[in-house]
């Protein structure tokens, strides 16, 4: 999700602390200041042009990386942060003032509007803005150039090597080349941490990580315990997947390179960060090669689907459940393919330009199944933007940030093999136990393989922000967490001269990541509720809500609430429960879980 890189709104549950009660309450006495309700109404009006400017500046830099667009983006972000800091300072006088429930919630959300709060000092605020713009640009421009400029490969090209090559040395080189390219970010990121922490402390938080964790309508420590509980529920299934994958990789590369009971070399799983394993599904992880589960890749190429047709297909799914057609400006202003004439950030993202119905996608789409699923996912953000567009700016976000990521992924759970056949991209599905296990494994290489990665990114940052991880141990701590959660290890020795966290966009881009972990849990809860609304009878993994207006109505009713209520209230309206849990995801993957238990008998599992 990308509203503006500097703006990540959260739902907070903390009172405005550390403020002195004014001697004359707002809204009383001669020449009275605005009441709390009036103050928030003013803030919502003032935010509109600032958010529009910030979004435009961010969009311009992301789609045309130059020294000038970096400068303009940094200046815009500086103005936004200056306004935000001053406005939050003013809001302290309303700590004990009478206010409507909506205003009281808005005052909490105001304090949590930036993922990188700036210090009040103008010079430091400008420095923070420049650092954010520079780190974003460094990521977008990074390349591996082993033999000079003519040999350069960007992330797309290096990722393609990891996805398609099965040459151990080539995989190691591509992985190392990209990770080495992140080294120059290290001093900038260290300074960013210092400045953002200073800003968070001025806002009343212990550090930036505590501020991020305050955004879930519960105390920060309680939220940390909640994520640990959720991980504990899904860890056994991931561990079984890791054991199975390691054995298959050992069969391909040799037990000397992939030994039992040890972490898997990170470059062998088909993805630059080993966050998903779908690229090695067909030739390494597929349980039953003879049982056909066709991907959409060949159909997309054979039928010459381009980026527009892929996006139209996604739009058709959403309109089939009663959502509106995309506005014409979406088609005129989105970037759906990589331009040939300039540097861009290709990381797929959806954009709310904070101007009526101006919503966009930034993506470098290719005709393959992965990008097809990605555009279905990104339109989930877009339709969420459109659903809550009429709310005040402070309520224009997901109920919590995991909601935003879960919307499109919930729709993707309905993009079943039967659905892909229905739209002509794959052949008829031949039902069998082997085909079911194949399909479940294919899904698990994304949905289950991702879970520990989704958990560890912010755990690393929380500890960096708190000072538990010092700059002298950035890289060491990064790999300890990867081994602890994922059971993977770097293919070559890494030192503190490296900055491997910078290899993942969300770290230099300063995008909180726990949202993705949460979304991979709650999307299955959403799907179960929507399938029930659609009247579906059968195994959860077979359900598609395509064409169900009843399911769409339930979905839309949740989306239009945005962040106006505590997420537990919004969550309950769709799912009937106020708690996130793994019951639905475990139900979805029950056939695979039972199969893995059989396959792993007698194996040395764990790491």
Query: Which tens digits make up the pLDDT trace of 174-204?
Result: 999 999 999 999 999 999 999 999 999 998 8
Q: Where does 32-98 have alpha helices with state H?
A: 36-63, 67-91
Mean pLDDT of the chain: 92
> pLDDT, tens digit, for every residue of 410-454?
999 999 999 999 999 999 888 899 999 999 999 999 999 999 999
Can you give the pLDDT at residue 349? 95
Phi-psi sector, 484: left (phi>0), alpha (psi -120 to 50), beta: alpha
594 vs 33, which has greater pLDDT? 594
Least confident window among 36-40, 179-183, 345-349, 566-570? 345-349
> pLDDT, tens digit, for every residue of 454-477?
999 999 999 999 999 999 999 999
Mean predicted confidence (pLDDT) in 500-523: 96
Least confident window among 10-19, 191-200, 264-273, 572-581? 10-19
Task: Decide if 159 contacts 346 (C-beta within 8 A).
Answer: no
Sign of CA dihedral 311, 313, 319, 321: negative
CA torsion, points 151, 157, 162, 163, in degrees to nearest 10?
-150
pLDDT band at 105 (very low <50, low <70, confident <90, very high): very high
Can you give the pLDDT at residue 95? 82
Provide the whole-model pTM.
Answer: 0.88
| 356 phi and psi angles, rounded to 5 deg | 55, -120
Q: Which of 84, 107, 83 is nearest to 34 (CA)?
A: 107
DSSP 3-state assignment of 421?
A: helix
Can you give the pLDDT at residue 204? 87
Portion of the chain with pLDDT greater than 70, in percent:
95
> pLDDT, tens digit, for every residue of 379-396?
999 999 999 999 999 999
> pLDDT, tens digit, for every residue of 134-189?
999 999 999 999 998 999 999 999 999 999 999 999 999 999 999 999 999 999 99
């Amino acid at each position: 999700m990308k509203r503006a890189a500097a703006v990540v709104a959260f739902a907070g549950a903390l009172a405005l602390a550390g403020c002195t009660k004014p001697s004359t309450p707002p809204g009383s006495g001669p020449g009275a200041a605005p009441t709390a309700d009036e103050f928030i109404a003013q803030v919502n009006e003032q935010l509109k042009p600032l958010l529009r400017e910030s979004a435009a500046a961010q969009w311009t830099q992301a789609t045309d990386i130059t020294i000038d667009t970096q400068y303009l983006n940094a200046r815009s972000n500086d103005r936004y942060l200056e306004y935000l800091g001053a406005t939050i300072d003013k809001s302290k006088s309303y700590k004990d003032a009478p206010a409507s429930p909506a205003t009281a919630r808005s005052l909490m959300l105001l304090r949590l509007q930036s993922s990188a709060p700036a210090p009040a000092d103008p010079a430091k605020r400008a420095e923070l803005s420049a650092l954010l713009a520079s780190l974003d640009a460094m990521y977008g421009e990074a390349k591996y150039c082993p033999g000079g400029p003519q040999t350069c490969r960007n992330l797309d090209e290096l990722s393609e090597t990891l996805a398609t090559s099965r040459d151990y040395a080539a995989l190691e080189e591509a992985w190392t080349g990209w990770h080495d390219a992140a080294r120059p970010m290290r001093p900038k990121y260290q300074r960013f941490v210092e400045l953002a922490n200073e800003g968070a402390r001025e806002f009343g938080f212990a550090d930036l990580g505590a501020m991020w964790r305050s955004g879930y309508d519960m105390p920060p420590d309680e939220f940390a315990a909640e994520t640990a509980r959720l991980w504990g529920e899904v860890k056994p299934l991931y561990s079984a997947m890791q054991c199975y994958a390691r054995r298959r990789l050992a069969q391909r590369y040799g037990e000397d390179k992939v030994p039992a009971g040890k972490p898997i070399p990170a470059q062998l799983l088909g993805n630059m960060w080993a966050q998903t394993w779908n690229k090695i599904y067909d030739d390494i992880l597929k349980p039953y090669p003879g049982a056909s589960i066709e991907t959409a890749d060949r159909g997309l190429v054979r039928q010459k689907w381009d980026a527009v047709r892929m996006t139209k297909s996604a739009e058709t799914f959403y309109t089939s459940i009663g959502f509106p057609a995309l506005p014409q400006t979406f088609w005129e202003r989105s970037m759906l393919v990589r331009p040939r004439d300039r540097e861009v950030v290709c990381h797929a993202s959806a954009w709310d330009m904070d101007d009526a119905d101006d919503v966009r996608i930034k993506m470098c789409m290719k005709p393959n199944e992965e990008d097809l699923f990605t555009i279905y996912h990104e339109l989930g953000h877009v339709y969420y933007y459109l659903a809550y567009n009429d709310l005040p700016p402070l309520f224009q976000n997901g109920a919590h940030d995991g909601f935003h990521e879960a919307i499109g992924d919930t729709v993707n759970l309905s993009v079943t093999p039967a659905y892909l056949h229905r739209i002509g991209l794959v052949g008829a599905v031949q039902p069998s136990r082997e085909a079911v296990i194949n399909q479940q494994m294919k899904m698990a290489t994304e949905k289950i393989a991702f879970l520990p990665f989704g958990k560890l990114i912010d755990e690393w940052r929380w500890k960096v922000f708190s000072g538990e991880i010092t700059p002298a141990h950035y890289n060491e701590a990064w790999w300890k967490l990867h081994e602890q959660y994922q059971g993977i290890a770097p293919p070559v020795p890494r030192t503190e001269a490296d900055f491997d966290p910078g290899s993942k966009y969300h770290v230099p881009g300063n995008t909180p990541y726990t949202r993705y972990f949460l979304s991979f849990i709650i999307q299955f809860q959403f799907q179960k509720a929507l399938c029930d609304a659609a009247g579906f009878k059968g195994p959860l993994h077979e359900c598609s809500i395509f064409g169900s207006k009843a399911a769409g109505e339930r979905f839309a009713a949740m989306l239009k609430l945005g962040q106006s209520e505590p997420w537990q209230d919004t969550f309950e309206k769709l799912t009937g429960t106020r708690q996130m849990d793994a019951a639905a995801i475990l139900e979805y993957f029950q056939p695979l879980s039972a199969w893995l238990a059989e396959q792993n008998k007698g194996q040395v599992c764990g790491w």
